[in-house]
Amino acid sequence: MENVLKKITNYKWELPKTYKKGMKVPAYFYINRELMDILERDAVEQAANVATMPGIQYASLVMPDVHVGYGFPIGGVAGFDAEEGVVSPGGVGFDINCGVRVLRSNLTVDEVRPKIKELIDELFVAVPSGVGSEGRLRVTDDELDEIFVKGAEWAVRNGFGTKEDLKHCEENGCLEGGRGDVVSKKAKNRGKPQLGTLGSGNHFLEVQYVEKIYNEEAAKVMGLEEGMVTVMIHCGSRGLGHQVCTDSLEVLNRAVRKYHISLPDKQLACAPIKSREGEDYFAGMAASANYAWANRQIITHWTRETFEKIFGSDLGMDLIYDVAHNIAKFEEHYVNGEKMKLCIHRKGATRAFGRNSKELPEDYTKIGQPVLIPGSMGTASYILLGTEKAMKETFGSTCHGSGRVMSRAMAKRKLRGSRVKDELARKGIYVRATHGAILAEEAPQAYKLSDVVVDVVHNAGISLLVARLRPIGVAKG
DNA sequence: ATGTTC
């Protein structure tokens, strides 16, 4: 790809807007040479396609964990003028508000390791997982409608966690504008029994420890020390968000014709933000995002209960932060020196706001927003900080994880789940999964090294390393 | 990611 991408720095490359007819802005790729070698041609085309969309501002942005997605690349960020621009389900993804949160604890890895099997087995029961899995609670239609509007706050109000948790969620765990009236009966029926479940695929609940601290000051503010046990929860809006996305694609395919929007790829289906179709998609997307925040909040509560059952009380399991990886939202950013209201789409990308952003809770105002980057199963996860450079260059955004290099089908052909489990055990990681195939699909070999991805965003300056977290136990669907 | 080819 080096013949089409122009080097700006060792970590930033430009695809000029002359690359493809109709591009309104260039695309910027945050990658290094190593990632350039595995960059998919189709992902480059997708980033160029996004640059042609109505109302796009500044650039189509690509993070180092990029791979081909539905319409937009996964690892893509795009900002559209809030008045003249569009909103697109392909720019959010099927798993609306797939996201990550991390809890700290007062426990050390030496205290937890001897009990890791018992702990993970208990967590595996306390937090249901797997495709189509159903949860331990049943909500009514009215409650579901409230969750669509209130997000994590509904969960806290109903006994799952604390008000302090809400302050440590992006958007306080609630995206404004969620509405149940635009969510189909089918989506609601899928979502109702799945609240409080982990799901499948790359979703997980992981017990980790802080292996290395890169930034003492920030780590202190987050309450992190080397050797301390942390818990990472990675999941999304389950069948509900998936159904909302599917339903909306039908509507927006029609809207593309109705509003005479010219697109290089049907998968970029979108509607003007100010149209009925666009507003309804946003409301359903926000409702799904809020369901996902309630979901992670409920799982957090059961995680704390399980830890207390095994290790007793006063474990200090505070929520460090919760970030969305798949979401669209209205934000203000500077474009060519002018403040603009934009609809920022982050698909497989993380908000990474710098210090003094008004969106941050008081304790993080001085250091910047915690950015949580899950590893693939068995590999390190990272905590970073958002930066002022990200505010200037990437609409305050960074990478979201390690990104696939092997398809699920390929991984199942090449790898055996039992063998993956044994390999992880040798590395001191106990894994509990619903079935062997998931271990093959999610094996470390199927993913880019998160270390490389994180190295790129750190060196590019769009987020900065704070801590590396090493897994000791994983529960997977 | 996903009642994993509704």
Q: Which residues of A are known catalytic residues?
A: 400
Residue A1 has pLDDT above 80, yes or no: no
Closest CA to A234 of A210, A206, A211: A206
Give mean pLDDT, residues A353-377.
97
Residue A407 is predicted with a pLDDT of 86
Query: Exposed/middle/buried for A217, CB within 10 Å: 0-12, 13-18, 19+?
Result: exposed
Average pLDDT over residues A69-93: 98
* pLDDT in the model for residue A403: 82
- Helix (H) / strand (E) element for A14: namely strand A12-15
Q: What is the DSSP string of A19-72?
A: SSTT-SS-EEE---HHHHHH--HHHHHHHHHHTTSTTB-S-EEEEEEEE--SSS
Closest CA to A363 of A321, A304, A391, A317: A321
Lowest-confidence segment of A14-18, A267-271, A400-404 by average pLDDT: A400-404
> Would you say residue A295 has pLDDT above 90?
yes
| Integer Cα distance of A177 and A164 in angstroms | 23
pLDDT band at A195 (very low <50, low <70, confident <90, very high): very high
Nucleotide nearest to A442 (CA to C1'): B1
Residue A397's pLDDT is 98
Nearest nucleotide, C1' to the C-alpha of A187? B3
Task: For residue range A301-313, list pLDDT tens digits in order.
Answer: 999 999 999 999 9
State pLDDT tens for residues A31-62.
Answer: 999 999 999 999 999 999 999 999 999 999 99
Which pLDDT band, with edges at 50, 70 and 90, does A222 fall under?
A: very high
Per-residue pLDDT band for A157 (boundaries 50, 70, 90) equals: very high
Is the pLDDT reported for residue A2 higher than 90? Answer: no
Phi-psi group of A75: left, alpha or beta (phi > 0 → left; psi -120 to 50 → alpha; rest → beta):
left
Computed over every residue of chain A, the mean pLDDT equals: 96
* Distance measured from the CA of protein residue A408 to the C1' of nucleotide B4, in angstroms: 10
Residue A243 contacts strand B, CB under 7 A: yes
Instruction: Please classify residue A2 by burial: count the beta carbons closer than 10 Å to its beta carbon, then call 0-12 exposed, 13-18 middle and 19+ buried.
Output: exposed
- Protein CB footprint (7 Å) on chain B nucleotides: 1-4
Give percent above pLDDT 90 in chain A.
Answer: 95
A239 Cβ within 7 A of any nucleic strand B atom: yes
Phi and psi of A199, rounded to 5°?
90, -155
**pLDDT at residue number A233:** 98
Is the C-beta atom of A325 closer than 7 angstroms to strand B?
no
Which pLDDT band, with edges at 50, 70 and 90, does A186 fall under?
A: very high
**Which tens digits make up the pLDDT trace of A395-443?**
999 999 988 888 888 999 999 999 999 999 999 999 999 999 999 999 9
pLDDT average, residue stretch A256-264: 98
The CATH topology of domain A6-85+98-405+447-476 is: tRNA-splicing ligase RtcB (3.90.1860)
- The predicted pLDDT at position A448 comes to 85
Span CA (A289) to C1' (B4), Å: 22
Domain boundaries, chain A: 6-85+98-405+447-476
Distance A247 CA to B2 C1' (A): 13
Question: CB of A184 under 7 A from strand B?
Answer: no
Task: Indicate whether A205 pLDDT > 80.
Answer: yes
Q: At A257, give phi and psi (nearest 5°).
A: -70, -45
DSSP-derived letter for residue A355 is: T
Q: Please determine, for residue A3, whether its predicted confidence score (pLDDT) is greater than 90.
A: no
Question: Given strand A12-15, what is the order of strands in its sheet?
Answer: A6-9, A12-15, A27-29, A60-67, A74-81, A338-347, A326-335
Indicate if CB(A435) is under 7 A from strand B. Answer: no
Tell whether the model's pLDDT for residue A378 goes beyond 90: no
Closest C-alpha to A280, from A178, A176, A146: A178
**Is the distance from CB of A209 to CB of A161 less than 8 angstroms?**
no
Dmax of chain A from CA atoms? Answer: 63
Place of tokens 């489990």: A421
Report the predicted TM-score, pTM, of the whole model to 2 decimal places.
Answer: 0.98
Nearest nucleotide by C1' position to the A404 CA atom: B1
Residue closest to B3, CA→C1'?
Answer: A132
pLDDT tens-digit series, residues A113-143: 999 999 999 999 999 999 999 989 989 999 9
Mean pLDDT of A274-300: 98
Phi, then psi, of A343 in degrees rounded to 5 = -100, 100
Mean pLDDT of A250-277: 98
Measured CA to CA, the distance from residue A108 to residue A78 in angstroms comes to: 41
Q: Compute CA distances A4 → A36, A67, A424, A444, whole Å.
A: 11, 18, 40, 31
Tell which residue, A329, A341, A333, has the closest CA to residue A357.
A333
